Amino acid sequence: MDFLVLFLLYVILVLLTILLVCLYSGRKQSWPSRTVDCLVQVLSRVIPAQVHGAAQRGLHRLFHTRHCLFVALHLALEVLVYGEYSWEVFGYCQELEFGLPLLLLPYLLLTVNMGFFVLCSKTDPGAVTKANQALFLHAYAYDGVMFEKGAKCAACSVRKPARSKHCGVCCACVHRFDHHCVWVNNCIGAFNARYFLVYLLTLSAMATAIAVITAAFLIQVVSLSNLMLGYYTDDQGQDRPVDTVFVIQHLFLTFPRMVFMLGFVIVLAIILGSYFCFGLYLVLTNQTSYEWFKSRRFKSGAYTNIYSRGVWGNLVEIAKPLMSPEPKRQ
């Protein structure tokens, strides 16, 4: 029964994580978002209007205003994972004579990750204001399809540079807008996109390193105990050879926190690794998340990405964001 409950918790965790990624990345036209919208419409017919209104106000405040709740959640999850790693995994692995550099690798990655987390959170992503809009208006050409020349933002009343978008959470237009990330409580734009990519890379590497070390320890425990060579008595009183399911159940009972953490970081490594690969693809093709998803709405051949400058040029642009060229001196 314990194994079944933990398995169900894993399934719920995976589904919630996927849902959070889809909802918080600003992709309003994705199928999970449309599914959630349909579900909300159905529930609104059976839920009292007062409850429904209060829930909507709460969700709007949670998802469409700037606050530090998800930053605190992000830091709390890191504390829990690293607490378990330091409390059990690190000590047990030292007893089994794992290499010290390998055991210290997650801490090194954590240090680098926290540095880029701060840079993502505190760096101005490229907010466009009336005072600085001239710096961005001529950085990119208007493609005439996704970005129209002469367009003015209805919310902040600035002339919209090509590749900019108004963020309703930050209440500002952002130069080379990618998305608003609740986990760093900031928009990802021209001036912090490079930091965000490294942040994702180190976060994926952290989860992968902890997963590999923890899995290696558990495999070593099973190997040294010769558990796979033994037998167990089932509910009917019959002796059966130890199989994989029995080993997993045994490890759950022996190291419950460690195995639960392992499942969590494996899921995290897969999701973050996939997201990093997607982000790297966008960088190499000189697209943003907003542009990529918006381009899906156009019919085939109706939209062409005019901003790609080749792989090397695209990498340089991320490292050194484009701004309007300075006027030529006479």
Cβ atoms of 265 and 214 within 8 Å: the answer is: yes
Q: Which of 93, 173, 181, 187 is catalytic?
A: 181
- φ and ψ at 166, to 5 degrees? -80, 130
- φ and ψ at 34, to 5 degrees? -65, -40
Beta-carbon contacts of residue 51 (< 8 Å; ≥ 6 apart): none
Residues in the chain: 330
Annotation says 187 is catalytic: no
Q: Which two tokens stand for residue 318?
A: 């991320």
The helix (run of H) or strand (run of E) holding residue 243 is none
Residue that is written with structure tokens 């690190």 in the block: 90
Start-end of H helices in the chain: 2-24, 31-44, 49-63, 69-84, 90-95, 100-122, 193-225, 244-254, 256-284, 289-295, 311-319
The SS3 call for residue 297 is coil
Q: What amino acid is encoded at 232 in this protein?
A: Y
- φ and ψ at 172, to 5 degrees? -160, 150
Query: Rounded to the nearest 10 degrees, how much is the dihedral formed by the CA atoms of 313, 316, 320, 325?
Result: -20
Which contacts (CB < 8 Å, 24+ apart) does range 153-162 have? 156/128, 156/129, 157/130, 158/128, 158/129, 158/130, 158/133, 159/133, 160/128, 161/128, 161/133, 161/136, 161/137
Nearest to 252 by CA among 207, 222, 213, 209: 222
Cβ atoms of 188 and 180 within 8 Å: the answer is: yes
Which residues form the catalytic set? 181
